[in-house]
Amino acid sequence: MSSVAVAASTTAKVRNGRPSKVSSGNSRSRVGESGILPSSLIVPRCAIVDPSFPLNATLPRWFRTEAGLWSRSRSDTIEEAMNPKIVLVAPSDAHEPARTMLPSGFDLLIEAAGSPAYAAALREAEYLVGFVDMLVKESLYQAAPRLRLIQLLSAGYDRADIATARRAGVPIANNGGANAVAVAEHALLLMLAVSRRLIWQHASVSAGRWRGNATPRVHELRSRTLGIVGLGTIGKKTARLAAAFGMPVQYYDIARLSEDAEDALGVRFRLLRELLRTSDIVSLHVPLNPSTQGMLGAAELALMKPDAILVNTSRGPVVDEPALHRALSAGAIAGAGLDVFAEEPPPVDNPLFKLDNVVLSAHLAGPTFESNIARLRNAFDNVQRVARGEPPLWVIPELG
Helices (H), the chain: 45-49, 55-58, 74-81, 95-101, 116-122, 138-143, 162-168, 180-195, 198-206, 233-244, 259-265, 272-278, 298-301, 321-330, 369-387
**Contact status, residue 6 vs residue 28, Cβ threshold 8 Å:** yes
42 located within any domain: yes
User: Which positions ≥6 away from 10 have C-beta within 8 Å?
Assistant: 23, 25, 39, 40
15: β partners:
18
Note whether residue 127 is domain-resident: yes
Whether 147 and 22 map to the same domain: the answer is no
Q: What percent of the chain has pLDDT over 70?
A: 80
Distance set, CA 192 to CA 7, 129, 188, 236 (Å): 66, 35, 6, 18
Catalytic residue among 148, 363, 377, 385: 363
User: SS3 for 53?
Assistant: coil
Is residue 99 located within the same domain as residue 172? yes
In terms of domains, do 158 and 184 share one?
no
| pLDDT at 58 (0 to 100) | 42
DSSP-assigned beta bridge partners for residue 14: 19
Q: Is residue 365 part of a domain?
A: no
What per-residue confidence (pLDDT) applies to 155?
95
Active site residue 222: no
CB 279 within 8 A of CB 304: yes
Residues 96 and 73 in one domain: no
Q: Which residue has the higher pLDDT, 393 or 78?
A: 393
Candidates 344, 370, 390, 398; catalytic one: 344
| Alpha-carbon span 179 to 173, nearest angstrom | 14
Residue 366 lies in a domain: no
Spell 242-279 as b/e; 16+ CB within 10 A means b.
Answer: beeeebbbbbbbeeebeeeebeebebeebebeebbebb
**pLDDT tens, residue by residue, 192-220:** 999 999 999 999 999 999 987 778 899 99
Q: In whole numbers, what is the pLDDT of the chain averaged over residues?
A: 86
pLDDT in tens, 363-392: 999 999 999 999 999 999 999 999 999 999
**How large is the average pLDDT for residues 30-43?**
43
What is the predicted pLDDT for the residue at 383?
A: 99
pLDDT tens digit sequence for 293-332: 999 999 999 999 999 999 999 999 999 999 999 999 999 9
Domain co-membership, 111 together with 130: yes
Confidence label for 400 from pLDDT (cuts 50, 70 and 90): confident
What is the number of domains present in the chain? 3
Pair (163, 295) in one structural domain: no
Domain co-membership, 203 together with 190: yes
The pTM (predicted TM-score) of the whole model is 0.79
For 56-69, the pLDDT digits (tens) are 444 443 333 333 33
Q: How far apart are CA 380 and CA 373, in angstroms?
A: 11
CB 165 within 8 A of CB 399: yes
153-184: pLDDT as tens digits: 999 999 999 999 999 999 999 999 999 999 99
> Residue 98's domain is classified under what CATH number?
3.40.50.720
Do residues 48 and 121 both lie within one domain?
A: no
* CB-CB neighbours of 2 under 10 Å: 7
Distance CA 128, CA 146 (A): 11
The one-letter amino acid at 396 = I
Is the same domain home to 151 and 264?
Answer: no
Least confident of 18-22, 240-244, 352-356, 390-394: 18-22
Nearest CA among 1, 8, 86, 92 for reference residue 45: 1
Query: pLDDT digit string (tens) for 238-294?
Result: 999 999 999 999 999 999 999 999 999 999 999 999 999 999 999 999 999 999 999
**Is the model's pLDDT at 17 over the cut of 60?**
no
Pick the catalytic residue: 219, 315, 321, 375? Answer: 315
- Domain assignment of residue 123, given as a range: 83-178+371-399
Compute the distance between CA of residue 171 and CA of residue 165 in angstroms, rounded to an integer: 8
pLDDT in tens, 83-130: 999 999 999 999 999 999 999 999 999 999 999 999 999 999 999 999
To the nearest whole percent, how much of the chain has pLDDT over 90?
Answer: 77
Determine whether 95 is an active site residue: no
Residues 173 and 247 in one domain: no
Whether 344 is a known active-site residue: answer yes
The pLDDT score that the predictor gives to residue 318 is 99
Q: Is the peptide bond before 345 cis (omega within 30 degrees of 0)?
A: yes
Instruction: Identify whether 52 is part of a domain.
Output: yes
